A and B are shown apart, each in its own frame.
Chain A
């Protein structure tokens, strides 16, 4: 929160809003005259020492009117936003939650209401009910209630299918209780932001209506009314429009900026909480270990068996990590260690499985290799070499060039890796041409065809002209692999690349990876939480536990005789389908730790 308000615009917004509120509340104390007090000796005086902003045609002091108008503006703004929320929020909740025909008809109703100009709604309400403060609040409130309804409906639609709402329904909670007790608290943040923005807009609408003489009566001072009066005297007193004009502009702007600031600070605090959580998960959240324990484990030499460590001179070493440390910078200047002292090698034609549970840092390690570490996270020590050349300390531009040719990557969600608005062919061809600027369009298309064919996409010619949504998850992941292969990389990184796929599809994609490795001789780093993926495809496995590499070794050796207690625990926990002795019924009752 505090960081957001350090921004100058946010500070400006808070100060202006505070000033307007104070002025409105203390209007009778601040204003030199009562707003309706008439000084018949000085009508239309222009700025004088007694009347700094001048007087109107009845000799009323304009400064006092301006000050009292702040009251009117805030009253109408707050009142109308409350009215808008009281109408819009329940409407949106019902439409979003009920769905079906309620939603279809209701949403079309919202569309129609949106098509009507807001001021027009105001005119109609005032024309029917007459002038007055309450009517004005209602009129302005009606202008905005549709926006609240729309926002509420949209959020409700996404929330209502979440487990906690379904569980509430399964538990038999009544619809009103689900709506107001379960859903509404989750809408609070976006509604507050929206309300702040609409407070400003409401002031604008009120000013417009009052300017047109439709808002409040003569006797009620308002900025819009003052502006309207000033237009009658543009010839003799042009300065009269300046003060109410500035008041409207600055106040409306301040409320808008306040909305932005609240929005920033809400999402900011969420971000902050996440980094805090990350640190906690990695450091001291879990069952038994404390910081001290961790220090000892970090010193402990990881279990490493089988030949193939970095010391062995070898020309076919593709990737080598030596004593890599990765840290996250904390806002207070300290650091949180994410990866500690990790050393790994991968050779040509070898598949290395990087095994770890959530929070183990396995994806962070991949990001470090790719040079894609997020802001606030950095490589604090060690070296990463690809084909013998050092990656640590490279500029982003150099890394970007390497990413295309030296290494390719495939992430978990295949659809998210592809742009939904371009055909698969166009995306592949773009990547091909990015790698080889001289290649002709036809040659690039041929290359794209070959790549799709290589990754086992049937009928590549037709598929090239299709959009990603026309691809199933497995097919989309094949395309993502094709994209990764464009630059004929020496190293392919798979980051949970098959975790989101169905079992049969997963097996096909894994077989594809094995097949590509056999044919192209790439080195592959397969990052996974799934022990089965490692068992089925990897030549060597490395096990990560909270940022420490606890074990590396040849896959059969590790699975037969896990060298680290954690690896053994993982293997024991894996529910294999062809397990000889299913634990059903016979399982020992381990004392449940706090998972």
Chain B
């Protein structure tokens, strides 16, 4: 397993992100700190799982790394250069290196565009001027995610959730990025589709050495994809380390609570688990 100490690809240090909460006419700017000084690093070819419940700031962290939201304090170093100061219009070289896959497959493609255009648009922006070349590379990208030529001309409404998510992955990977931010990328998918998409992501990683920042609420998914895990609560990382260390011998109370609440894939021992949960809540049944 790759350790993060050897020159990380991405290093986040004391990252803070604030949101404006003042009304439209508020004179005084009021802000809410949603990410409170978190630090972590991702090595090349590694998957870092960022786990947290809703409102923990995990998606905001992803958006800060994608340069879609302003950074209030701290630094984000990508391949040796600080990108926290980059404006929302980041250089194309960064856009090429860092990509994203989102949760809702139905919303991740433009409903009015043919599926292949999702990929060709990106190629056109990144200097592939020849139309036939764009089409050829789109077809190749589709093939890599297990889709055929016939899917290139489909409209999103004619495709299933799993197929849409495959296309979103094809779009993210077509520029050979070094980091892909997967924001709940499998949460909206059916179980069997979810397993296939996780397999696909792993397969692409093994082949290209891409790193993933895997943002999810699901500890089970993290167990299966991540090398390192950070547990986020209310904007702070309460615990991080290798996946097996964090999930098998958690040291923080919150991690233990999350693990206790995670559903087991088998009914065996559930009475004991229920009793433990009730006891942890101080004996109150629910």
The answer on a CB contact under 8 Å between A503 and B53 is: yes
What's the least CB distance linking B218 to chain A, in Å? Answer: 7
Please measure, in the bound complex, the distance between the C-alpha atom of A333 and the C-alpha atom of B260, giving whole angstroms.
Answer: 52
Q: A173-B121, A277-B157 are in contact. Are A357 and B110 (CB under 8 A)?
A: no
Q: Which of A163, A277, A535 contacts B107 (CB 8 A)?
A: A163
Asked whether B200 is an interface residue with its Cβ less than 8 Å from the other chain, the reply is yes
Q: A163-B104, A181-B121, A595-B193 are in contact. Are A582 and B270 (CB under 8 A)?
A: no
Residues from chain A with Cβ under 8 Å of B267 in the complex: 535-536, 538, 555-556, 559
The answer on a CB contact under 8 Å between B285 and A167 is: no
Most chain A beta-carbon contacts within 10 A, residue among B121, B191, B199, B247:
B191
The answer on a CB contact under 8 Å between A167 and B261 is: no
Please measure, in the bound complex, the distance between the C-alpha atom of A594 and the C-alpha atom of B142, giving whole angstroms.
Answer: 11
Q: Which of B145, B160, B192 contacts A569 (CB 8 A)?
A: B192
Residues from chain A with Cβ under 8 Å of B263 in the complex: 503, 506-507, 530-533, 535-536
Please measure, in the bound complex, the distance between the C-alpha atom of A530 and the C-alpha atom of B220, giving whole angstroms.
Answer: 12
Most chain A beta-carbon contacts within 10 A, residue among B88, B202, B266:
B266
Asked whether B21 is an interface residue with its Cβ less than 8 Å from the other chain, the reply is no
- Within B93-140, which residues are at the interface with A (CB < 8 Å)? 95-96, 98-100, 102-104, 107-113, 118, 121-122, 125-126
Asked whether A42 is an interface residue with its Cβ less than 8 Å from the other chain, the reply is no
Nearest residue, chain B, Cβ from A511: B286
What's the least CB distance linking B222 to chain A, in Å? Answer: 8
Asked whether A288 is an interface residue with its Cβ less than 8 Å from the other chain, the reply is no
The answer on a CB contact under 8 Å between A172 and B265 is: no
Q: Which of A170, A181, A456 contacts B284 (CB 8 A)?
A: A456
What's the least CB distance linking A508 to chain B, in Å? Answer: 6
Please measure, in the bound complex, the distance between the C-alpha atom of A494 and the C-alpha atom of B274, giving whole angstroms.
Answer: 19
The answer on a CB contact under 8 Å between B198 and A575 is: yes
Asked whether A311 is an interface residue with its Cβ less than 8 Å from the other chain, the reply is no
The answer on a CB contact under 8 Å between B161 and A579 is: no
The answer on a CB contact under 8 Å between A163 and B108 is: yes
Q: A575-B195, A592-B196 are in contact. Are A171 and B122 (CB under 8 A)?
A: yes
Residues from chain A with Cβ under 8 Å of B273 in the complex: 536
Most chain A beta-carbon contacts within 10 A, residue among B148, B221, B261, B268:
B261
Please measure, in the bound complex, the distance between the C-alpha atom of A174 and the C-alpha atom of B125, giving whole angstroms.
Answer: 8
Nearest residue, chain A, Cβ from B174: A171
The answer on a CB contact under 8 Å between A577 and B285 is: no
Please measure, in the bound complex, the distance between the C-alpha atom of A253 and the C-alpha atom of B264, giving whole angstroms.
Answer: 62
The answer on a CB contact under 8 Å between B203 and A164 is: no
The answer on a CB contact under 8 Å between A570 and B146 is: no
Asked whether A436 is an interface residue with its Cβ less than 8 Å from the other chain, the reply is no
Q: Which of A162, A172, A505, A532 contacts B104 (CB 8 A)?
A: A162
- Bitwise interface map of B from 222 to 263 toward A, beta carbon under 8 Å scored 1, else 0: 111111000000000000000110010000000001111111
Please measure, in the bound complex, the distance between the C-alpha atom of A507 and the C-alpha atom of B108, giving whole angstroms.
Answer: 30
Please measure, in the bound complex, the distance between the C-alpha atom of A508 and the C-alpha atom of B277, giving whole angstroms.
Answer: 8
Residues from chain B with Cβ under 8 Å of A511 in the complex: 274, 277-278, 285-286
Binds B, one of A32-40, A236-244, A387-395, A583-591: A583-591
What's the least CB distance linking B231 to chain A, in Å? Answer: 12
Nearest residue, chain B, Cβ from A100: B20
What's the least CB distance linking A270 to chain B, in Å? Answer: 9
Residues from chain A with Cβ under 8 Å of B84 in the complex: none
Please measure, in the bound complex, the distance between the C-alpha atom of A455 and the C-alpha atom of B247, giving whole angstroms.
Answer: 31
Q: Count how many pairs of residues, one from A and one from B, have CB atoms less than 8 Å apart in the complex.
A: 237
Residues from chain A with Cβ under 8 Å of B223 in the complex: 575-577, 579, 582, 584
Q: Which of B53, B103, B145 contacts A504 (CB 8 A)?
A: B53
Asked whether A271 is an interface residue with its Cβ less than 8 Å from the other chain, the reply is no
- Within B172-204, which residues are at the interface with A (CB < 8 Å)? 172, 175, 189-200, 202-203
Q: Which of B165, B172, B265, B284 contacts A532 (CB 8 A)?
A: B265
Please measure, in the bound complex, the distance between the C-alpha atom of A164 and the C-alpha atom of B56, giving whole angstroms.
Answer: 24
The answer on a CB contact under 8 Å between A532 and B264 is: yes
- Within B69-97, which residues are at the interface with A (CB < 8 Å)? 88, 90, 92, 95-96
Asked whether A574 is an interface residue with its Cβ less than 8 Å from the other chain, the reply is yes
Asked whether B210 is an interface residue with its Cβ less than 8 Å from the other chain, the reply is no
The answer on a CB contact under 8 Å between A167 and B171 is: yes
What's the least CB distance linking B13 to chain A, in Å? Answer: 22
Asked whether A250 is an interface residue with its Cβ less than 8 Å from the other chain, the reply is no
What's the least CB distance linking B93 to chain A, in Å? Answer: 9
Nearest residue, chain B, Cβ from A478: B286
Q: Which of B68, B190, B227, B274 contacts A357 (CB 8 A)?
A: B190
Nearest residue, chain A, Cβ from B66: A170
The answer on a CB contact under 8 Å between A167 and B100 is: yes
The answer on a CB contact under 8 Å between B196 and A593 is: yes
What's the least CB distance linking A13 to chain B, in Å? Answer: 26
Q: Which of B100, B195, B197, B220 contacts A577 (CB 8 A)?
A: B220
- Bitwise interface map of A from 146 to 177 toward B, beta carbon under 8 Å scored 1, else 0: 00000000000000001110111111111001
- Within A480-504, which residues are at the interface with B (CB < 8 Å)? 502-504
Please measure, in the bound complex, the distance between the C-alpha atom of A536 and the C-alpha atom of B107, giving whole angstroms.
Answer: 32
Please measure, in the bound complex, the distance between the C-alpha atom of A502 and the C-alpha atom of B161, giving whole angstroms.
Answer: 22
**4 other contacts beyond A181-B121, A582-B244, with CB at 8 A cut-off?**
A162-B104, A163-B103, A170-B98, A589-B199
Q: Could you pull out 29 A-B pairs where Cβ atoms are within 8 angstroms?
A: A162-B108, A163-B104, A163-B108, A166-B102, A169-B88, A172-B92, A172-B125, A181-B121, A185-B113, A186-B111, A186-B112, A503-B263, A504-B258, A507-B263, A511-B274, A511-B277, A531-B265, A535-B263, A556-B267, A559-B266, A569-B192, A575-B220, A575-B223, A576-B223, A587-B199, A587-B202, A592-B145, A593-B146, A595-B163
A→B interface (CB under 8 Å): 104, 107, 162-164, 166-174, 177, 181-182, 185-186, 188, 273, 277, 281, 285, 357-358, 455-456, 473, 502-509, 511-512, 514-515, 529-533, 535-536, 538, 555-556, 559, 569-579, 582-585, 587, 589-590, 592-595
